[in-house]
Amino acid sequence: MGSSRPRRLVILTEGQWDPHSAKTAHGMIRYGPDTVVAVLDSTQAGRNVAEDLPGHDIPFVATLADALPLSPDALLIGIAPTGGRLPDPWRVTILAALGAGLDVLSGLHTFLGDDPQLAAAAAVSGARIVDYRRPPERMETAVGRLHGPGKRVILAVGTDCAVGKKTVCLELRRAGLRAGQSVAFVPTGQTGMMIEGWGVAVDRVVADFLQGTVEWLVEEGERRGDWVLVEGQGSLDHPAYSSVTLGLIHGATPHGMVMVHTIGQAEHDFDHAPGRRFPVPSLVPFIRLHEEVAGLVAPSKVVAIALNTRLIADDEEARRECARTEAETGLPTDDVVRFGPDRLWAAIVAALEGDDR
């Protein structure tokens, strides 16, 4: 998926700026290579992104017209709703953006490029519609590929979706590059793809080819680096997404897994079944189960815990929670966003360096 980069983006989050609903927006602002000229969200207009994400001086604007003087060249859809549909009121905004010659970048399940009205508007102005979730033509089942010599594959897994698996990978890569290592990140979701410019949204692949696609992505990752960090999706106990998670585990056959967990979260972020509760699993048995399930295809071990301490305001208390989790699991534990990724990365490297399959 080639395109001239970096771009100048307006990111649309209308009414859904919270970090969960707008995780694509937050990811692009924090880790993307592009310049974000404005976030389009009338409910936040007058504020600045830096108030929520320190260091990112980006205005919120109420309308697309307010953003145009900032010379954007693309509108990026900044949300990733369950099921991936386009909120109807956004259609008007997207049409206006295409009319103004802006490319439209989307990670929704609904392919905007297949919408006759949107496609016609793009054709008139010469703008492009990029649907990141569109799967590759390739349709191959997994073949049981072995990893290349000297390569180490690390998969982020988690106790829920949206706990920060992609962020953890990106932070760990940063640490690896700082340490002078050859590190590649393998994007398996639309936001990771927008950030990196390659990858496959594996949840959009035909189920029969999920593991084959992951295997192929890892092969490409191994061409790009010796340490290969694979973005995880969902969680092994998720009522809706666990099969995608297992496809990543058995398709990537990682040497090691990093377990991402939000400390203090009691229940899955899953509100489709009124009255039903899906508790977040206990770490120690969940870790053991990951190793056992992974081992059905290839041996693997959980080598570190990336703790998401966002629910804890106090830094010292967050550090104590990391220490408590480290004692509970016997695994190196840190919040790589809050306290930096270097310590955890060093522990992961130490755990996997000698693992020559």
Binding site for its own copies (CB under 8 A): 82-84, 109, 139-146, 202-208, 210-212, 236-244, 246-247, 250-251, 270, 272-273, 276, 278, 281, 289, 292-293, 296-297
Nearest approach in angstroms of CB 9 to its own copies is: 25
Nearest approach in angstroms of CB 189 to its own copies is: 10
Residue 163, class by beta-carbon neighbours within 10 Å (0-12 exposed, 13-18 middle, 19+ buried)? buried
CB closer to its own copies out of 146 and 313: 146
Nearest approach in angstroms of CB 130 to its own copies is: 19
Q: Where are the beta strands (DSSP E) in 80-150?
A: 103-106, 129-131
Nearest approach in angstroms of CB 5 to its own copies is: 27
Q: Which residues contact 273 (CB under 8 A, 6 or more apart)?
A: 239
Nearest approach in angstroms of CB 296 to its own copies is: 4
CB closer to its own copies out of 156 and 336: 156
Residue 6, preceding peptide bond in cis (omega within 30° of 0):
yes
In degrees and rounded to multiples of 5, residue 351 shows phi and psi of -70, -30
Tell me which DSSP letter residue 145 carries: P
Nearest approach in angstroms of CB 181 to its own copies is: 29
Task: Report the distance separating Cα 326 and Cα 321, nearest Å.
Answer: 8
CB closer to its own copies out of 98 and 230: 230
Instruction: Render the burial of 182-212: b for 16+ CB within 10 Å, e for the rest.
Output: ebbbbbbbbbbbbbbeebbbbbbbeeebbbb
- 215, 263, 255: which is closest to 356 by C-alpha? 255
CB closer to its own copies out of 241 and 345: 241
CB closer to its own copies out of 38 and 163: 163
Nearest approach in angstroms of CB 252 to its own copies is: 12
Task: Report the distance separating Cα 201 and Cα 113, nearest Å.
Answer: 16
CB closer to its own copies out of 29 and 244: 244
CB closer to its own copies out of 237 and 342: 237
